[in-house]
Amino acid sequence: MASAILFPGQGSQTAEMGEFVARVRPDLHAAAIAVVGEDPFARAEQSTRFAQPAIFCASLVGFSTLADDAAQAEFMAGHSLGELAALAAAHSLNEEDGLRLVTLRGALMARAGEEAGGGGMVAVLGAGAAEHAEALASAHDLAIANDNSPQQVVLSGAKARLPEAVTAAKELGLRAMELPVTGAFHSPMMAPAVPEFEAALKETAFAEPRATVLSAVTAAPFDDIRLRLTQALTMPVRWRETMLALRELGAERFIETGPGKVLTGLAKRTLKDVELISA
């Protein structure tokens, strides 16, 4: 049975993940503190600047505890920052470079949100959410940030436009709510973060991954890794399509590693007749 390992993004953080990393990989815990400049686990709920390196570390430690057969999975994919963890787990990116990149990514995205100001995100939930996403985004000058499942999408853009989108979604019989974030992530408002991150990627070595790693930007195996990781700052996370692509490639077992069980829930709403495991 072919397996796919899934690495989570922001929103999956838990109160216990810092202790877990410190216990299993005290060296990685110390490295995260050194790179970030303080303990990112203690402030993961406060900013994407801290959440991203904390979740990256917890995901890699979770991956290291998987049984051998699971760790040798044929496929991998990561949601947003989880792409860096997936590439590190697949030996395409070394752990130290991955930690450096994800820390920079979190800091740049936090700064872009603060400098742009007035950015936000709204979750749209319910049957038909994915079908209505494009029309809702277009009508309210927003971007589709996350296409997570048939029943869950996230729109991103100017905070002033979000209330109208919430009202319109509810008129369609959907549920909608603004999210407690400090920026319009995965939208053109993140453009200021691109140049410095792109420059860092150019200085980073990438090897051929030992497993097939899918990009959530294209919902296809990574081709140009640096390009796709750069695009991921401003383009949608096509997670629903990524799950469908993994199934089409032959994945029958989906194993979520790292903190939380967010991706398992999304996979359950997207795929049928597959085995789902939260490790």
Which residues have a catalytic role annotated? 80, 186
DSSP 202-257: HTS-----SSEEEETTTTEE-SSHHHHHHHTTTS-B-HHHHHHHHHHHT--EEEE-
Q: Give the position of tokens 């402030």.
A: 43
Burial class (CB in 10 A: 0-12, 13-18, 19+), 194: middle
Tokens of 255: 């194993």
Of the CA atoms within 13 Å of residue 140, those in its CB half-sphere come to 27
Q: Give the position of tokens 């410095």.
A: 196
Tokens of 250: 């032959």
Scanning 95-238, the segments in alpha helix (DSSP H) are: 95-116, 129-139, 162-171, 194-202, 225-231
